[in-house]
A and B are shown apart, each in its own frame.
Chain A
Amino acid sequence: MCLAIPARIVELNNDKAVVDAMGNRFKARTTLLPEAKLGDLVLVHAGFAISLVDEEEAKKTWQLIAEIDDFEQTQNRVSG
């Protein structure tokens, strides 16, 4: 549960954002990362952006998440 997901901020209203990760869009807060701007790539953990991240690093993590997801689906895990 300590794995954060890289995602791009596609909407931003104060500290409430909509982010896109691998084509999935979801809500995230930028309360913990006030410097985040529209279009930035950020690491999102449990609904909160915690760090900026570059494109190359984001790609590595997306790849890893896609592979780990296979593992977790075998256990009917809901989320974390």
Chain B
Amino acid sequence: MLETIYKTQSLINAACKAMGRQINIMEVCGTHTVSIFRAGIKTTFPKTLKLLSGPGCPVCVTTQGYIDTVLQLAQRKDCLIATYGDMIRVPGSNGSLEKHIGGNVKVILSSEDALQSARDNPDKTVVFVAIGFETTAPSTAVVVKEAAKEGIDNFCILSGHKVIVPAMAALLSEKNHKIDAFLCPGHVAVITGFGAFGEIAERFNRPCVVAGFEPMQIIEGVGEICRQLAAGVAEIKSVYSAVVTEKGNITAQKIINECFEPADGYWRGLGKIEKSTLKLKDKYSQFDAHKRFNISEKLGKEPKGCRCGEVLCGLIEPPECGLFGKSCSLQEPVGPCMVSSEGACAAWFKYGQGPRNKTSEQ
């Protein structure tokens, strides 16, 4: 363990010297964010190396418009909303799903449970709140295929699925971005393979390193990024070889491609990004809740004063938001980055560098 730490420290020092300015590394996975804060990794790095939390938490990047649509459907007596637990506390323009639990909203652990709800409730249309990146998209695709095979016509999905690489490209295409490298998500890469990040390394000349979630794996990933920065190269690499391969899970990729096609779509904070969301293909359109209920995708209106969008782009850190720690806290969250346990604001608030730490220092 110590060997890895010393090695990483020397790689960081070399990179800082070579770059001659502050280095910014962005992680794009909510689980990385939590692990980094929980282990206090940030505090072990020099001030010239900054870790930024990017758009890696699926709940956080889901738009207010999508959440409002789910809330509208939850009002309908003929609908049953099946959702992962992560989504229930996210405030829409008017309340959250939490108040409907036990009524028209059911919390599920797997897409399969959503389909089972449709079998069990033939008098209702079950709407599966399908959010998440490439890790969850294949499991949604599996049940859509099964619904088609079994002819379960009271089942549909409201696809909020997103793919991460177009969002990374969008961030790097902004003039004011300050991202030098990406720490890439481990379990998304299990599905996509680390080769999927090749476009970012080549087109934008930014190192992309896939790491696991345990603190030492993250430190090792940061070390590899610094090695590349010091050497002036941008490569794709995985330091999570126990489960991540270059090509990924081909079966899962095939199932995603069979059911979904890339579509332009909205992200909170990042706006509309080309080919960054997954839409059901025409042959499965009967399971598309957007079509079934004639809903158009919209961005929606952010809560007043909430700066989650800028947090998600790495432009500000949570305490720079005027609501942070005041009207927005873990107990009474305003924005999704505080609601979601994987959000940057929640991790910052819970694990330090937030107001509670300041209080304890006084």
Which residues of A approach B to under 8 Å, CB–CB? 1-4, 26-27, 29, 31-34, 43, 45-48, 50-54, 56-57, 60-61, 63-64, 67-68, 71-72, 74-75, 77-80
Contact = CB atoms under 8 A, between A and B. Distances in A.
A4 B135 contact: yes
A2 B135 contact: yes
Contacts of B65: none
A71 B135 contact: no
B85 A78 contact: yes
Contacts of B251: 31-34
Contact of B330 (A1, A27, A52, A75): A75
B84 A45 contact: no
A53 B244 CA distance: 10
A53 B186 CA distance: 13
A78 to B, nearest CB: 3
B88 to A, nearest CB: 7
Interface string B301-345: 000000000000000000000000000001000000000011000
A46 B84 contact: yes
Interface residue tally of chain B, by bracket? 35 or more
A18 B132 CA distance: 24
B188 interface: yes
A71 B341 contact: yes
Contact of B249 (A33, A67, A68): A33
A35 to B, nearest CB: 9
A69 to B, nearest CB: 10
Contact of B243 (A32, A57, A75, A80): A57
Interface string B55-80: 01111000000000000000000000
Given A1-B30, A50-B249, A57-B242, A43 B190 contact: yes
Contacts, number: 133
B111 interface: yes
A32 B252 contact: yes
Sorted from nearest, which 10 A-B pairs have the closest CB atoms? Answer: A47-B110, A78-B85, A79-B85, A57-B242, A80-B86, A3-B31, A48-B139, A60-B214, A32-B252, A51-B190
Given A1-B136, A47-B111, A68-B31, 15 more contacts: A2-B31, A2-B185, A2-B188, A2-B342, A4-B190, A26-B109, A33-B251, A46-B109, A46-B132, A46-B139, A48-B138, A57-B242, A60-B214, A74-B330, A78-B88
B11 interface: no
Nearest to B256: A32
Contacts of B56: 2
Given A33-B249, A77-B85, A47 B109 contact: yes
Contacts of A43: 187, 190, 243
Contacts of A71: 34, 38, 341, 350
Contacts of A60: 212, 214, 217
Contacts of B111: 46-48
B213 interface: yes
A74 B330 CA distance: 9
A29 to B, nearest CB: 6
A3 B58 CA distance: 12
B212 to A, nearest CB: 7
A34 to B, nearest CB: 6
A67 B351 CA distance: 13
Contacts of B249: 32-33, 50-51
Nearest to A78: B85
8 contacts: A46-B136, A46-B139, A47-B111, A48-B111, A48-B139, A50-B187, A63-B214, A78-B88
Contacts of A51: 190, 243, 249
B327 to A, nearest CB: 18
A60 B350 CA distance: 23
B113 interface: yes
Nearest to B252: A32
